[in-house]
Chain A
Amino acid sequence: ETGVTQTPRHLVMGMTNKKSLKCEQHLGHNAMYWYKQSAKKPLELMFVYSLEERVENNSVPSRFSPECPNSSHLFLHLHTLQPEDSALYLCASSQGGAIYTGELFFGEGSRLTVL
């Protein structure tokens, strides 16, 4: 496989469920990102893992919990979500540090619907 792969592509969950989104990158990058894309809103950065350091948007609710076990894998754990959390969740990777190129490589997204 090549590029950035996200699973599942579609997820429907109730507000009391616990689920996880998975992202895997095969590009040898050292930074990974979670973005939330809601209709007619700017892409919202949720979390970044870059060179072992986690950077997060302080406005992200605690019901979203990221995990980055290594530079190739990124998870977003979901717990007790609200209907307004329904959105497209995009994973991206990039090469940071001394050889920064600026380009983000995105997966196709996980479409989340919270009932």
Chain B
Amino acid sequence: AQSVTQPDIHITVSEGASLELRCNYSYGATPYLFWYVQSPGQGLQLLLKYFSGDTLVQGIKGFEAEFKRSQSSFNLRKPSVHWSDAAEYFCAVVSTSGGSYIPTFGRGTSLIVHP
């Protein structure tokens, strides 16, 4: 079964600084990979996804993520963080075998942005 690890529970950055949120997955083949964001009191919203092809994926709100097969990682990055980026971020993986396509989510990383 696939699993997702987000090693950082909290990340604190200053506004304008760069950001990297880590995500590692465990799966025998190349899965589908996703990053979602959840603002307080809201549901989750998709930031970006990777299925195949170019390993650097661009998403909404200036976010990007890079798939590294050798490290089983799919880290989320942003060059300059805005105060409105403070939220909970979830990495998710979907198995590409079996046909069920049900995502498994990580525990989430809470991003705190200092002015």
Interface residues of A (CB under 8 A from B): 4, 40-43, 45, 48, 50, 55, 90, 92, 94, 96, 100, 102-109
> Across the two chains, which residue of chain A brings its CB closest to B94?
A102
| CB–CB B106/A107 < 8 A | no
Are A103 and B46 closer than 8 Å at their CB atoms? yes
Interface of A: prevailing SS: loop
Complex alpha-carbon distance, A105 and B49, angstroms: 13
Q: Contact between B43 and A108 (Cβ–Cβ < 8 Å)?
A: yes
- CB of B100 within 8 A of CB of A55, answer yes
CB A31 to nearest CB in B, in angstroms, measures 8
Contact of A104 among B4, B103, B107 (CB under 8 A): B103
Q: Which chain A residues border B106 with CB–CB below 8 Å?
A: 42
| CB proximity of B108 to chain A, nearest CB, Å | 8
Q: Which of B42, B44, B46, B107 sits near A42, CB closer than 8 Å?
A: B107
The answer to whether B43 touches A42, judged by C-beta atoms less than 8 angstroms apart, is no
Which B residues are in CB contact (< 8 Å) with A96?
Answer: 101
B32 contacts A55, C-beta separation under 8 Å: no
A109 closest partner in B (C-beta): B43
List 13 A-B residue pairs with CB atoms under 8 Å apart, sorted by A's residue number: A40-B9, A42-B4, A42-B104, A43-B90, A43-B105, A48-B102, A55-B102, A94-B101, A102-B51, A102-B103, A104-B46, A106-B45, A108-B43
Asked if B53 CB lies within 8 Å of chain A CBs, one says: no
| B101 contact set on A, CB distance < 8 A | 94, 96, 100, 102
